Amino acid sequence: MVDVKQLTPLSYQLGEGPYWDETNQYLLFVDIMKGDVHRHYPDNLKQQTIHVDNSKQQTIHVEEGPTGDSVSFALPVEGKPSYLVVGLGRSLALVEWPLDAPDTLTVKAKAILHSVDQHSPTNRFNDGKCDPMGRIWAGTMAAETAPGVLAKHKAALYTLNTDLSIATGVDKISLSNGLAWNKEATTMYYIDSTDYAIYAFNYNAASGKIDNRRTVLDYKAASLGDDIPDGMTIDNNGNLWVANFYGHKVICIDPQVGKIIRQVSLPASNITSVCWGGTDYSTLYVTSSQVGISEDKVRTDKAQGGVFAVTGLGAQGAPPTNFKVDLSLLKSKIN
């Protein structure tokens, strides 16, 4: 039987980026506009938080201006999971979060690896994830006036390679969101939210290049109303699980036929992202957002902005891939 449980009574403004840390068996997630990263240990319900303070961070690329305080994802470095690469404003930054840190801590970035979107200073990073080879794919978006309301085609999807070079994967993106790869590592799935579509690309694992974009599911044609496609993961059968902002639900899609095969209802309205976790990767962790919900509703309904564990789905995912960077290369960036 499908069971949905809120992890703790805590709720978040823009909960996002759930990521299961295989080494330490905790769930990482972020609260984007607050600039916070949380880690939650399901075994004992212990939770710890860092706030990434960017206020006095000197950017390494001196031509850049300040990059803002949002933290849009946090991905562990392979072999050194206390190091996280985060989307910090419109920069990619390295932060360190020791396992024995106090329960709340403010940290500064140890290094700014890259800053992007110079043409659009109010852009910020949004979702990011590692591909099967351990590169980071992370995309940007323009500033919003409301969820999904923003200037179009001003953002891009970037690849942070394992040698720390950066490349543009897709340009003219509006609201870069969910990413997933099939287990054969031949297809990349990707969401540009305000296209209301889920795309597939041919993916070349060796080169990190993608081509042949096609649509897997068109939200409007599938009668999904105002639902905005947001974060995404894939299960071991190759089906996609997609968070529907404004939709109170996660939908499961068979990308081979482009059809919705299941829906999971959640007590929160604005579902932002999903990941598989737990010892056998059969728990679907789900984040949500309070943005766009009235203050009254947020105050009285703690499910809005909650993080949830969904069990009993009869589906499983694979362990996520960490960022596979050469540690000495990374350390040479730390000043």
Smaller CB separation from ligand BGC, 40 or 124: 124
49 part of the interface to Ca ion, by CB under 5 A: no
Find where tokens 């709340």 sit. 104
User: 46-52 and 104-107: which strand pairing?
Assistant: parallel
182 labelled as ligand-binding? no
| Strand, coil or helix: 24 | coil
Full 3-state SS string of 108-170: CCCEEEEECCCCCCCCEEEEEEECCCCCEEEEEECCEEECCEECCCCEEEEEECCCCCEEEEE
Smaller CB separation from ligand BGC, 125 or 276: 125
270 part of the interface to Ca ion, by CB under 5 A: no
227 part of the interface to ligand BGC, by CB under 6 A: no
Which residues are marked as active site?
230
Select from ligand BGC, Ca ion, none the partner in contact with residue 254, using the beta carbon and a kind-dependent cut-off of 5 to 8 Å.
none
Give the side-chain half-sphere CA count within 13 A for 114.
18
213 labelled as ligand-binding? no
| Strand, coil or helix: 268 | coil
Say if residues 174 and 155 touch (Cβ distance below 8 Å): yes
Q: Report the site for ligand BGC in 123-182 (rule: CB under 6 A).
A: 126-127, 144, 147-148, 177
Sign for the pseudo-dihedral over CA of 208, 211, 215, 216: negative
Binding range to Ca ion, per CB under 5 A, among 18-26, 142-150, 269-277, 313-321: 269-277
Residues that bind Ca ion (CB under 5 A): 127, 177, 230-231, 273
Residues that bind ligand BGC (CB under 6 A): 14, 16, 32, 126-127, 144, 147-148, 177, 193, 228, 230, 245, 272
Q: Which residues are annotated as a binding site for substrate?
A: 124, 126, 144
Q: Which residues are annotated as a binding site for a divalent metal cation?
A: 16, 177, 230
